[in-house]
A and B are shown apart, each in its own frame.
Chain A
Amino acid sequence: MEIGFYPGCSLNGTSSEYAQSTLALAKAFGVTPVEVSDWNCCGATAAHNLNHELAAALPARVLALAQQQGFSEILVPCAACYNRLSVTQHTLSGNEALQSDISEALQMPLSGNLRILNVMQFIEKYIAKEIPQKIVKPLTRKVACYYGCLLVRPHDVLQFDRTEDPQSMDTLMAAIGATPIDWGYKTECCGAGFSVSRTDVVAKLSGKIVQDAVERGAEAIIVACPMCQSNLDMRRPHIDSYLKMKTTIPVMYVTQAIGLAVGLSRKELGLEKLFVTAKHVA
């Protein structure tokens, strides 16, 4: 089975292990994600902060390319890209004038109903059913499922899971033998795109998330967003100095956690790329 695949810039660089583990997991379950050819950046936070037209045009070109290349469904593992693409699809469908302006400027048709799947929706649809019979090494750990902002909000547009206490990742973690904990920071913000420009803000917001997970006994934080992962993982020295303690809790992608449970190797899943090692838990 083939499905369209939009990796986005993070998965091409700073979060290459997310792409690696997503593709390895898909392959293990007989799904082949096919990259949308000549894709561009979704614009992320910068575009909608500074330039509204650009913020719509960048994702619009990706959506148009995917349709041009014959995909009816695309997998978008990055939560930020998933959010930008979904919001743009929603905005354009409700604004004919903007849709025709952008379509004309891009010289590409902008219609049709491409289905955009985040990583959890992809796993639920194509993988989840077969997980039980493929488990070889259950992840018998307490885990904090961290969804962040962009997977679940704005709910009116995304229509995915619950906004305050989402469950999709918790259900997947329970399916691989882990114990998802109850905690208070499931959908709190990590500081997102302030990683470079306001590292102090990221240290504080991400610090509170790490602290709550640790205090409630979690042994790993599970994520589905490259921004969340890099803030909680690569910014750990800043987080630890904000918290005034040394924390060792690793931050793994949901695809890495499931991959381990179904017997994929640490190398295939890019686990050695984590800054905070996961060796002591998986």
Chain B
Amino acid sequence: MIGALFLLLGLLITVAVIRPEGEDDQWRTARTEDLVQILDDLGSRQQRLEDEAARLVALQRDLETGSTAEALAEAQRRLEALQVLSATTPVSGPGLTITLDDASGRVDSSVLVDAVQELRDAGAEAIQVGDTRVGVSTWFSDGEEGVTVNGQPVGDPIRIMAIGEPETMSAAMSIPGGFAETVRTRGAQFTATPATNMTISVTVPVSAP
């Protein structure tokens, strides 16, 4: 009796251990609801990609059949998008102005890097810190007279301007443990002022490639 039970146990263990060596074991061991979830994800991903493909096919057709004016307009649109991305053009629109009154001087470069990251995550198109436009190669560092951006002192109070959805960005700033809280725990005053229309006119100088 005991021997039979142990035989059963040994058989079970062997079968369970050998089984995952199949070629598709990743799916074999998954549960039904996990598989349904994965299938759903794949379905919505396919939907997104199909939409993207349809848009691109339509664009291709327009470009092939349309006049040069359409091609020019598309090229212009891409140029503007890339200029905004590379921070080489002035940008205006709704945005948020953040003022940090850092009397104790405990706001350092890492805090500002976090601010830039969070603003970008919240959809900021253009960001200016102090008198410097934030581009792809902007750097922050801690100097003797406070934080510097690209080597320029950031000034006091620190002023950050961001173009984008003001509600989204101020929500992103004020989440618990977020930027506003970090700044306040470091003893600085945090003020965020939304604006329906503001302009960031500082640009990153374009250098020849």
A binds B: no
- Chain A residues at the B interface, C-beta cutoff of 8 Å: none
